[in-house]
A and B are shown apart, each in its own frame.
Chain A
Amino acid sequence: MKPVLVIGGGIAGIQASLDLADRGINVHLVEKTPSIGGVMAQLDKTFPTMDCSICILAPKMIECLRHHNITIHTQSEVIGLQGNVGDFFVKVLEHPRSVDAKKCTGCGLCSEKCPVKRPSDFQAGLGQRKAIYLAFPQAVPLTATIDRDACLWFTKGVCKTCEKICPANAVNYEQIENTIDLNVSSIIVATGFEQYNPKGIGEYGYGRYKNVLTALEFERLVCASGPTSGILNRPSDGGIAHNIAFIQCVGSRTQTNGYSYCSSSCCMYATKEAVLIKEHEPSSHVTIYYMDLRTFGKGFQGFVDRAQSYWGVKYVRGRPGEIIEDPNTKNLTILYENTEVGKVEKDLVDMVILCTAAVPHRDNEKLSSVLDLRLDEFGFFDTKDPITAPIETNMQGIYVCGSCHGPRDIPESVAEASATAAKSAEDEFRFMVNK
């Protein structure tokens, strides 16, 4: 039996890998960043159950690590493909961590002593990490990695503090990149998505007004493992934000700056974040400015009903036209039309959260040309048919699951991951039988 290649180590990739591994099929799980986990690892809680996100994800991540049938390749990307279903030849490029994974214990001492700071991707840019760092506390593998563009040794030939201080002697500046050849029977693409950068929508002031954040930045702000340990300190002055607005469809459902489609889960995650704010500060005021309230999933309507009736979250139907900043207080005024009463109104708030569109990952183009996959008009991976073949692609033996082929939430991604595992298993069986 040949192994299966899973590209992308977010929740979808993890689930597909576990389904296959649990039934005895070997999996190569290739992940670009230093740790598996994906966006779900960055979330505070998940709707509608309000589970702590990393708490329900981490056991699955550890399961992948410990599973005899799964080989995780982090800091790796697929750079070449040949062959056909049943017999794919894949080239994977592994970028060096400059740390020996077998020796590193993840103690974090190197990171503590490293003198170079950089914005942390995990903290959505709100916090910092060092040039040598651990992706996040529950990272899998829990192995340090050196950002060679930031590291003083690699850029200037000085320092080497981490090597001196590492108790496990795990730092190895001589590591080079490594190419692996894999022979697999099928491929599952689970590379996820990115968030739209709302700098393109000048009227919302993102990037200029300190107290305008994206939803992912807010997740980190409100999360106990975030840069403020979960205290709602607003960026301009550290004061506790009491009056918070969410703006929906930022970069979605638009013909100008952004994309014309709906990003599916923003109405729900805004509600979730609103409830989180109320949990943190029960006296706060939270308003969600929306276009259509999308509560189409299981448990969604009930969740929104409770947010309104129990928690007092306000919903206003109106797409704000502008955010105006008070130059002294850095408070923000939201200018909008309340379409349920037909009046133009102004609301004054401490902080604005932009619920940004889920957009195709910037690497989709590159990967699509390596794998010869079609992309849709937006840049998501295209599927064979939305009804009859929702997780198949134009290439036989290559399947897609999760947000890489369009915005969707976690339960859908998980079900799709299992679906792609089924297709891979069908391919395995067919080729085994035909041998």
Chain B
Amino acid sequence: MMATPRIGVFVCRCGINIGAYVDVPKVVEYAKTLANVVYAEENMYTCSSDGLNKIKEAIRKNNLDRVVVASCTPRTHEPLFQATCEEAGVNKYLFEMANIRDQCSWVHMTEPEKATKKAEDLVRMAVAKAALLQPGDEPEIDINPSTLIIGGGVSGMQAAISLADQGFNVTIIEKEPELGGTLRTLDTLFPNNMKASQVLEPLLQKVKDRPRIKVITNSKVKGVNGFLGNFDITVEGENVSENFNVGTIIVAVGSDSFKPNGLYLYGQDKRVITQAQFEELLKTNKVDAKSVVMIQCVGARNEDHPYCSRICCNEALKNAINAASPNREIYILYRDLQTYGVHYSKLEQDTKRKGVRFLKYQPDKPPQVTAEQNGLKIELYSPTVNEKVELRSDLLVLSTPLIPVSDAKELSQLLKVPLDSNGFFMEAHVKLRPIDFATDGIYICGTAHSPKDIGESITQALGVASRAAIPMAMKKVRTAAIMSEVDQKRCSGCGTCIEVCPYNALRKNDKGLAETIAAVCKGCGVCGATCPEKAITMHHFTDEEIAAQGLAALKEN
């Protein structure tokens, strides 16, 4: 063990977030009484550039070698304070945070005295741990400047093109015989009725023209091992079995369309079709219906798929415009019209100008469809006119949601990335990291993320091309020193830790004993908790450190 630790404690007011409910000066005074604390101060906003400078100054002036910040959540602010410590010469792993905001002031607003005591408890715990912290060395890993793109539709191709144009090598894996994905099945695109081929052909050509892009069709990813910078990929297909190494992975597998079997007579009456089928008819000029009715939200925004699929309203409008003619009546039965933004608002206005009619229906009173000889009878209650309305049509077109691809789960398990409650891939953070996975080196774009239109998919594809390029351009990445370490003398080689690790971060070495792959390990602690021999140490969360925190929690103050 080193010399007696010199801990500095910084208690943040966070404006009034903490300061209005916790007696911050009292907590500061309390901190000064704790063992190993040689300095304590309060800040208005510790994370402001002024606050950070104060930390650095205090480190220098007081020769601090451990820092505790009692403020908000490490989720957003730990890296910031760690970097600040490093700038002042203190190893970032000698830093500890006490969350006296989310875990204290924010939840105990009505009991300021108790909140203050709790803040003192949290500081005491953090100080107890800080005293035992050891500096950490972050391993540096080399990044293979090449990318695997799973899925060769619009998103996959666009991402590949951009990455190639940034100087990186790309391999696209596509399970179908050809690239193109859903774009192949479309005829026209909204908002400007562009031909799908006008988008598809140039992309296909650009992919062909770039020697840095390798395409493997008719194949699927069967194995993924490794970590950011160093993923070992196994691909298998009809005549293909390949192994290669990439630095980053992009998921661009697209989505499927929900088939409304049994809904509104779909599957029972051939006059009831989906938008995709309608588009096919329009393309080949085979629509001779005098009256067309469209129903939105079929199988969407309900218990089965409790989300809005974003594009169905606009798809219906596009098809309605293309089908509009003076001899044809078109009705769109909707719940809420999702014509958002500048372009789709215009699309809505254009559709209305073409004479297409809109009727709102309520989700608890959906349209009733009956098949009759001379057409389909559609009855619905229209709240706008407070009456039951009856429509007759020759063709009923159902707008259904996009759903995750059938092998999404399989892929998510292969990559060890999560799916959300609707089965779409789940990003690291909905607002600020929409196209990253929490797992480093893997990214998500296109409708595999959530329903969206082609322009939005292209945007996300370009986005992941930037995200993936970051580690690849830097060629090396430092990973966290928070990781497991297997004591080779105590390990019995049972292999349980390897089985339970969610990140594939443990392997058996040539002695048959477990060993950590430092670069992949996320420090989650599952192995450490599982090991029957207690052979695994979780750096930065050692048994001693956690015990110290626990005992400190139980102390009276």
Contact = CB atoms under 8 A, between A and B. Distances in A.
> Which of A11, A137, A300 lies at the interface centre, i.e. has the most chain B CB atoms within 10 A of its CB?
A137
Contacts of A261: 341-342, 345-346
A302 interface: yes
A56 B76 contact: yes
Contacts of B465: 419, 422
A264 B76 contact: no
Interface residues of A, number: 84
Interface string A354-392: 000000000000000000000010101000011110110
Contact of B454 (A224, A387, A411): A387
Contacts of A137: 15, 44-45, 48
B435 A415 contact: yes
Interface string B384-395: 111000000000
Nearest to B307: A301
A106 B455 CA distance: 43
Given A24-B473, A261-B342, A224 B456 contact: no
17 contacts: A23-B473, A55-B73, A56-B76, A66-B83, A106-B50, A224-B15, A262-B345, A294-B340, A302-B421, A341-B383, A342-B383, A386-B191, A407-B342, A415-B434, A419-B459, A422-B469, A426-B162
A390 B456 contact: yes
Interface stretch (A46-54, A207-215, A326-334, A344-352): A46-54
A429 interface: yes
Interface in A41-84: 46, 48-49, 51, 55-56, 58-60, 62-63, 65-66
Given A141-B49, A224-B17, A422-B463, A49 B342 contact: no
B178 interface: no
B97 interface: no
Interface of B: 15-17, 20, 44-45, 47-50, 52-53, 72-73, 76-77, 79-80, 83, 162, 165-167, 189, 191-192, 194, 198-199, 202, 301, 306-308, 310, 336-346, 349, 360, 362, 383-386, 420-421, 424, 429-435, 449-450, 453-456, 458-467, 469-470, 473-474
Contact of A342 (B385, B453, B462): B385
A229 B16 contact: yes
A57 B222 CA distance: 39
Given A297-B450, A419-B466, A426 B166 contact: yes
A412 B308 contact: no
A295 to B, nearest CB: 5
A279 B313 CA distance: 33
Given A19-B466, A58-B47, A296 B431 contact: no
A105 interface: yes
A429 B165 contact: yes
A361 B196 CA distance: 33
A292 interface: yes
Contact of B340 (A225, A262, A305, A418): A262
> Which of A107, A302, A411 lies at the interface centre, i.e. has the most chain B CB atoms within 10 A of its CB?
A411
Nearest to B159: A422
> Which of B17, B47, B189, B420 lies at the interface centre, i.e. has the most chain A CB atoms within 10 A of its CB?
B47
A418 B496 CA distance: 41
Closest 7 CB pairs of A and B: A419-B462, A418-B463, A23-B473, A342-B386, A422-B466, A261-B345, A298-B450
A243 to B, nearest CB: 23
Contacts of B191: 386-387
A224 B16 contact: yes
A323 interface: no
A421 interface: yes
Contacts, number: 225
A48 B473 contact: no
B431 A414 contact: yes
Contacts of A262: 339-341, 344-345
A39 interface: no
A265 B108 CA distance: 32
> Which of A107, A293, A425 lies at the interface centre, i.e. has the most chain B CB atoms within 10 A of its CB?
A425
Contacts of A298: 307, 420, 424, 430, 434, 449-450
Given A23-B474, A253-B345, A408-B341, A419 B308 contact: no
A226 B455 CA distance: 38
Nearest to B475: A24
Contacts of A408: 341
A217 interface: no
Interface string A217-233: 00000001100011000
Contact of B306 (A264, A305, A341): A305
A390 B460 CA distance: 11
Contacts of B473: 23-24, 425
A260 interface: yes
Contact of A59 (B47, B50, B301, B424): B47
A153 to B, nearest CB: 25
B194 A301 contact: no
Given A293-B336, A388-B199, A416 B459 contact: yes
A85 interface: no
A224 B19 CA distance: 11
Given A305-B306, A341-B383, A342-B383, A419 B460 contact: yes
B308 A300 contact: yes
A138 to B, nearest CB: 6
A299 interface: yes
A148 interface: no
A393 to B, nearest CB: 14
> Which of B192, B430, B462 lies at the interface centre, i.e. has the most chain A CB atoms within 10 A of its CB?
B462
Contacts of B346: 260-261
B431 A301 contact: no
B300 to A, nearest CB: 9
